[in-house]
Amino acid sequence: MYVGRGDYEKAVEQYKTAIMLNAKYYPAWLELGRAFVDLERFTEAEASLEEVLQLNPDVRGLPQEGEIAASDAHYLLGQIAISRSELTEATSELQQSLHRARNVDAMSALGYVSYRTGDLDGALMQYETVLRFQQIITPPREFPDAYLFRGAIRPARQEFSQAINDYTRAIEIYNRQITSLNAQAEISDSTGLKQKAEIERRRKRDIEKQLHMALDLKTNAEKQMQR
């Protein structure tokens, strides 16, 4: 409830209270780690996420809920590694995430890391998988980065028209997300949730960077087609 309201300090307090009452209650450790990631308190996030992994070891017979929690923990650790440009560590964490469960967020993030490290075939495989899962996951979600980076890979294969289609799709989704986050941030500000508004604006800035990349790449692909 507090996370939904954007009151992260109260949320952290509640998670810590739950853990104090039951140190083996891994859902509280996981959500505490997720809250710390949102707050960019990465050292504290890592400690919480490692607790999730300690409580859900990679052993035969672990309940599905534990596997999913471990997958999410590895994914979040991968995101922290990406933020530090530790791409080898990020690759390891994301691969472990996918070993534990079908985590579409981890697929997308691994596609990004593969793209950054020059493994274009590996990146394409991840993004193609993400876009297949996008059609069936519940609740519905969109993954514009999959379109963006699949588009970025296509010109090397002389697939300019397909690249432009991917960029166009990514741009449409990014614009919707930016509009939504801007509206959310304004509401958060008006209700005094300054921390929530700042997180929403940070996410908006990140998406704006991806939007500008998509626009530039689309322009370049259109020029190449005209040659």
CATH code: domain of residue 146: 1.25.40
- Tell whether 197 is covered by a domain: yes
Q: What is the pTM of this model?
A: 0.91
- pLDDT of amino acid 6: 85
End-to-end CA distance of the chain: 55
CA angle 4, 108, 142 (to 5 degrees): 55
Query: What is the C-alpha separation between 199 and 89, in angstroms, rounded?
Result: 25
* Dist CA 191 CA 186 (whole Å): 9
Q: Reply yes or no: is the peptide bond before residue 139 cis, omega within 30 of 0.
A: yes
Q: What b/e string do you get for 48-75 counting C-beta neighbours within 10 Å, with b at 16 or more?
A: bbebbbebbeeeeeeeeebebbbbbbbb
Tell me the Ramachandran region of residue 57: left when phi exceeds 0, alpha when psi lies from -120 to 50, beta otherwise.
beta
Residue 100 lies in a domain: no
Residue 4: predicted pLDDT: 86
Residue found by looking up tokens 């790449």 in the block: 217
* Residue 84, CB-side half-sphere exposure with 13 Å CA sphere: 17
Query: Per residue of the chain (227 residues), what is the pLDDT tens digit?
Result: 999 888 899 999 999 999 999 999 999 999 999 999 999 999 999 999 999 999 999 999 999 999 999 999 999 999 999 999 999 999 999 999 999 999 999 999 999 999 999 999 999 999 999 999 998 988 889 999 999 999 999 998 899 999 999 999 999 999 999 999 999 999 999 988 888 999 999 999 999 999 999 999 999 999 988 87
For the chain, the domain total comes to 1
Q: Is residue 184 part of a domain?
A: yes
192 domain-assigned:
yes
Would you mind telling me the total number of residues written for the chain in this entry?
A: 227
Residue with tokens 């604006």: 201
The answer to the question of residue 8 being in a domain is: no
Residue bearing tokens 């980076």: 149
Q: Is residue 179 part of a domain?
A: yes
Are the CB atoms for 154 and 166 separated by under 8 Å?
yes
In a domain, 113, yes or no: no
Residue 24 maps to a domain: no
Q: What is the pLDDT of residue 119?
A: 96
Note down the domain range covering 189.
142-227
How many CB atoms neighbour CB 26 within 10 A? 22
Helix axis angle, 87-100 to 64-83, nearest 10°: 170
